[in-house]
Amino acid sequence: MGRFDAPELVQRWQQLGEYSRIHDDITHMAMSHLNAKRVMDLCCSTGLLGRRLLDCLKLERVTWVDSSKPAIDAGLAANVIDCKYAYVMRVDRQSLAAFMGIIGRESLTAIVARRCMPELFGYDLQLGRDFAAAIAGAGVTQIFLEGRVPSPNAVNPLSSIDDEVEIFTAHYKDAYRYRNVAVLVKL
């Protein structure tokens, strides 16, 4: 696990009920613009963002997806993540159909994704575009996307929020921005 899913963040939530400030911007946007009751926390790590949204917005359900079994296990052990809605899965060409099955089965209409598009699609932009088409076709109407802070040393093709948003523009419009968070709404 990395610095954004550090054990001390989970412990602080367990002991004090406090959420990490690293999720403030995307949470702010969700509180202002989310129109869904069932949300996916994509690349959820230990699940703190999804838990915060579940608690603050009184959502019906959050579905957690991450490729790291240790991160999901840590979230499960800390009671951050609900085991009924947790999936260990890497989103790639081989798993896209299974991923879409989760969206359909869970009746998800919104996805929150914090700083993960470069890892998912940075070296396969066509997969990112295929992903956008698939989730739009499955009924996902909103995406809350927090991008990485621009860096002059970035080597990944998705080095800014603008680059990340571009993947989705054939199916979603960039409706709202706050700092490094974009709210995309299905066309």
Task: Please give the radius of gyration of the chain, using alpha carbons only, rounded to the nearest integer.
Answer: 15
CA dist 107 to 51, 100, 142, 147, 163, Å?
18, 10, 13, 25, 28
Of 113, 103, 116, 94, nearest in space to 42 by CA: 113
User: 3-state SS of the chain: helix, strand, coil percent to 5?
Assistant: 45, 20, 35
Fill in the DSSP letter of residue 95: T
Q: What is the pLDDT of residue 140?
A: 98
Residue pair 103/139 in contact (Cβ under 8 Å)? The answer is yes
Check residue 14 and give its pLDDT.
65
Tell me how far apart the alpha carbons of residues 152 and 11 are, in angstroms, rounded to a whole number.
34
Cβ(62)–Cβ(50) below 8 Å = yes
Q: What are phi and psi of 123, to 5 degrees?
A: -115, 10
**How confident is the model at residue 2, as a pLDDT?**
42
Residue-level pLDDT at 148: 79
Burial (CB count within 10 angstroms: exposed 0-12, middle 13-18, buried 19+), residue 69: exposed
Helices (H), the chain: 7-16, 24-33, 48-57, 69-77, 96-106, 117-121, 125-137, 161-168
**Each residue's pLDDT tens digit in the chain (187 positions)?**
444 556 677 676 667 667 788 899 999 999 999 999 999 999 999 999 999 999 999 899 999 999 999 999 999 999 899 999 999 999 999 999 999 999 999 999 999 999 999 999 988 999 999 999 999 999 999 999 999 777 777 778 888 899 999 999 999 999 999 999 999 999 9
Give the model's pLDDT for residue 13: 62
Which domains are present in the chain? Answer: 3-13+20-117+130-156+168-173 (3.40.50.150)
